[in-house]
């Protein structure tokens, strides 16, 4: 299957529209349903919802030692709550995406947010480890659709040449979570209680739900929802939608390779972050939860820098290579991912491990924070173009494409996280980080393979890939 194209037609009756939507203007009316200001408002709303999962996880990690003490257990046991939330995120993403394809985007937000609120309050009042795990699952499940469905919304309202930049801005906004959530969570844990932070999450997301209920429109293209197609064919809406349906997209080697490569890259982030109280914290004498949370700040700032930068670069690459080839080759967008997966991610992870193990004092701490910043930049230089690529090639199933990617990745990470602290205890932080860096290089090789053989790989199994005309 190839992605060839004819010369783009002009629209002499609407020159303004040509300037604003240069790609096949006469076919882009569906993207002009919302004004520029309305699109900005929509992106702001979905960014708030996409921010939620990162706040849920980011505010929890610096509190692990205090939670372990409060519940009379160990850090290793409480770190399992991170795995539970990642598993719930995987399942929630898949369910949210599958139902959003059938019923639309708006109902998914309105169904998920109340679950998040209930789960947050449950975590705040949990008295035992099993209670904590159950409420963490519900909390993460309710917030999970924010990322996958949010990327689908971006695909609904932005044309091809604007999509990478828009997703970059979306990612930059939601990745404010990793920047400030650990800081706020650590502050609340040290100066009040970790429970206060969880209760605040419940309260804040109650207001987010009200805002979404009042202001968020349905963005799915008219006639594209499964429920509309069923009614047009005289059928009945389905009450049950298979939540595992998005995983069927992994039958495509392009989507599978992209998901596995993303897992290898994102794993470095968790290898650095999850044990931070027991690595950088213990090595440099940091026991205050607020200051442990502050150590997350460079990673979050790196995310915020990397995401919009990567989105802008990937859009430029799409345009340049399209002009060079004379046709659209979707995998060209992934060229923007190579430097992140090849250089920034693995080297920052490797050097952080070496610094923590061998360089004491202020110098070691400062250089570690620099490594954390470049890891944040590198992760988003890799994952932001990858997300835009999935939306490009699966336009009509963009939310499902993101869910298969994020859900599969989160599922594997949920099993990998419990091995991080034992690995550091047995082999040391340098060896553990080196292993993660090597996996990142494997991910880079997989991305290069997709770029080089994208056409052939797409032809092996067509899961409904977009063509240039749609």
Residue 296: inside a domain, yes or no? yes
User: Is residue 464 predicted with pLDDT exceeding 80?
Assistant: no
Calculate the average pLDDT of the chain.
Answer: 82
**Rounded to whole angstroms, how far apart are CA atoms 67 and 129?**
10
- For the segment 105-129, the average pLDDT, to the nearest whole number, is 92
pTM above 0.75, yes or no: no
**Alpha helix (H) residue ranges in 326-416:** 338-339, 345-358, 361-393, 398-416
User: Is residue 426 predicted with pLDDT exceeding 70?
Assistant: yes
Residue 24: inside a domain, yes or no? no
72 Rama class: left (phi>0) / alpha (psi -120 to 50) / beta: left
* pLDDT tens sequence across 8-55: 333 333 333 333 334 334 456 777 888 888 888 998 899 888 887 778
Residue 248: inside a domain, yes or no? yes
User: Is residue 447 predicted with pLDDT exceeding 90?
Assistant: yes
* pLDDT tens sequence across 280-291: 888 888 877 778
**Rounded to whole angstroms, how far apart are CA atoms 350 and 417?**
18
Residue 2: inside a domain, yes or no? no
The burial class, CB within 10 Å (0-12 / 13-18 / 19+), for 248 is middle
- For the segment 219-245, the average pLDDT, to the nearest whole number, is 74
Residue 333: inside a domain, yes or no? yes
Q: Give the tokens for residue 190.
A: 């040290």
Grade residue 469 by pLDDT with cuts at 50, 70 and 90: low
The number of folded domains in the chain is 1
Q: Over the Cα atoms of the chain, what is R_g?
A: 22
Q: What phi and psi values does residue 266 have, to the nearest 5 degrees?
A: -70, -30
List the end-to-end C-alpha distance of the chain, in Å, as a whole number. Answer: 15
Segments forming the whole domain that contains residue 186: 36-220+244-460
Residue 149 Cα to chain centre, angstroms: 11
Residue 73: inside a domain, yes or no? yes
CATH of residue 179's domain is: 1.20.1250.20
Residue 230: inside a domain, yes or no? no
pLDDT at 237: 64
User: Is residue 335 predicted with pLDDT exceeding 90?
Assistant: yes
Residue 383: inside a domain, yes or no? yes
Higher per-residue pLDDT: 449 or 86: 449
User: Is residue 91 predicted with pLDDT exceeding 50?
Assistant: yes
């Amino acid at each position: 299957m190839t992605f060839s194209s004819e010369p783009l037609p002009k629209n002499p009756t609407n020159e303004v529209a040509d300037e604003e939507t240069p790609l096949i203007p006469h076919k882009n009316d569906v993207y002009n349903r919302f004004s520029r200001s309305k699109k900005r408002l929509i992106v702001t709303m979905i960014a708030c919802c996409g921010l939620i999962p990162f706040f849920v996880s980011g505010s929890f990690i610096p509190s692990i030692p205090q939670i372990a003490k409060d519940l009379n257990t160990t850090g290793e046991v409480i770190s399992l709550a991170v795995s539970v939330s990642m598993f719930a995120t995987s399942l929630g993403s898949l369910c949210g995406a599958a139902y959003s394809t059938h019923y639309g985007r708006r109902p998914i937000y309105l169904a998920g947010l109340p679950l998040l609120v209930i789960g947050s309050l449950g975590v705040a009042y949990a008295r035992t480890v099993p209670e904590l795990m159950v409420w963490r699952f519900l909390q993460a499940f309710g917030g999970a659709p924010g990322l996958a469905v949010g990327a689908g919304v971006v695909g609904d309202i932005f044309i091809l040449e604007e999509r990478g930049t828009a997703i970059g801005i979306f990612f930059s906004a939601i990745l404010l979570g990793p920047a400030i959530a650990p800081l706020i969570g650590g502050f609340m844990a040290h100066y009040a209680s970790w429970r206060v932070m969880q209760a605040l999450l419940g309260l804040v997301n109650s207001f987010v739900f009200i805002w979404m209920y009042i202001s968020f429109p349905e963005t799915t293209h008219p006639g594209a929802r499964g429920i509309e197609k069923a009614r047009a064919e005289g059928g009945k809406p389905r009450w049950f939608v298979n939540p595992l349906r998005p995983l069927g997209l992994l039958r495509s080697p392009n989507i599978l390779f992209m998901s596995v490569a993303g897992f290898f890259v994102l794993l470095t982030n968790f290898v650095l972050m999850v044990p931070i109280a027991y690595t950088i914290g213990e090595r440099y004498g940091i026991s205050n939860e607020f200051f442990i949370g502050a150590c997350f700040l460079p990673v979050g700032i790196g995310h915020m820098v990397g995401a919009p930068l990567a989105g802008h670069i990937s859009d430029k690459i799409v345009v340049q290579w399209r002009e060079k080839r004379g046709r659209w080759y979707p995998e060209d967008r992934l060229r923007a991912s190579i430097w992140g997966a090849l250089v920034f991610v693995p080297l920052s992870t490797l050097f952080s491990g070496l610094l923590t193990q061998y360089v004491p004092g202020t110098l070691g701490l400062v250089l570690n924070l620099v490594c954390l910043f470049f890891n944040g930049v590198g992760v988003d230089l890799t994952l932001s173009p990858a997300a835009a690529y999935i939306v490009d090639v699966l336009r009509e199933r963009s939310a499902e494409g993101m869910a298969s990617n994020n859900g599969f990745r989160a599922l594997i990470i949920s099993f990998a996280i419990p091995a991080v602290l034992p690995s550091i205890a047995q082999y040391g932080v340098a060896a553990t980080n080196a292993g993660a860096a090597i996996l990142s290089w494997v991910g880079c090789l997989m991305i290069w393979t997709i770029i080089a053989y994208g056409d052939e790989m797409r032809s092996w199994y067509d899961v409904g890939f977009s063509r240039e005309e749609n």
